[in-house]
Structure 1
């Protein structure tokens, strides 16, 4: 008789625990909607880093101006080179369709820099018109990119966003020296 009571008590205990867990799940707020997912990615204010980068970099640092509020900055950095002559600017964003796009700039060797920031993308045929300028197209397994090499600086607009969105971001870029 003792063995049956133990099994019966265990089943009752498990039932009570199950009801308790269900009540906790029901009464504690949680949001599985896409708005909650969007809110999980923090928006960053990149103004201070931009001013700092424009003062420190030996090239005009590009940042978007006039993009709709649906574009959200998510990461920003400026890393000076070891010799103090240049560095790398990065501004990561989510486009309105929640695709990643970033602005990468450096005065490092263009070939190595492009390979690094595009995760190994290679140049493909055709150019992308952005305003009055033509940008080279790159395509990789993960990222696509628009690349513009100018005297002393390489600008790369890269990410998972389609070329049209990357072109929208490139068109909004304004390069200034601080």
Structure 2
């Protein structure tokens, strides 16, 4: 009966396919809980990279100590400079509210380094007290940051997290040379 198909046959075929798709959807598991968001980004263990960076870097590499378990490390790296005399340390994290925060350190020229890791944020009025030290505040379209320039190293705590969370991360930093 070729050529005898009707619109009715097409509608019936689409209805059967729609029912089949609906049944498949019902039986496929869906995890819409808060844990689904939490497990979407995998946590990393940064201890080995931290030890390596502390041995290789010409400055004391900073990493958090004593943060609650609700903070999760998501990325870590140490890149030696081309001349082998310095490098850049990166530790990316998610705070308890699932906002991004990272620790960035380098002995490179501060201005270019800060601009790069903050995605172009600019210095704003006011300082952020973190313990007994004052950090400069930076604000950009995407990231905000706390910056501390010291002889031989610039430390930037940056991300989408609010300044208070960035200060929490900065307060937990312990800088050591390996």
Q: Please give the TM-score of this superposition, normalised by the length of structure 2.
A: 0.95
Query: Number of aligned pairs?
Result: 178
Does residue 116 of structure 1 match 2:116?
Answer: yes
Aligned mates of 1:2, 1:114 — CA distance in 2: 71
SS in 1 for 2:164: helix
Unpaired segments of 5 or more residues in structure 1? none
Does residue 29 of structure 1 match 2:32?
Answer: no
Does residue 135 of structure 1 match 2:135?
Answer: yes
Offset of 1:34 from its aligned partner? 3.0
SS in 1 for 2:85: coil
Unpaired segments of 5 or more residues in structure 2? none
Comparing 99-108 with 6-15, which one deviates more in the overlay? 6-15
Does residue 45 of structure 1 match 2:45?
Answer: yes
Runs of at least 4 residues off by over 6 Å: 1-4
SS in 2 for 1:127: strand
Name the structure 2 match of 1:173: 173
Q: CA RMSD in A?
A: 1.5
Tell me the alpha carbon deviations over residues 45-83 of structure 1, each in whole angstroms, 9 at most, x when there is no partner.
Answer: 111111111111010100000000000111111100000
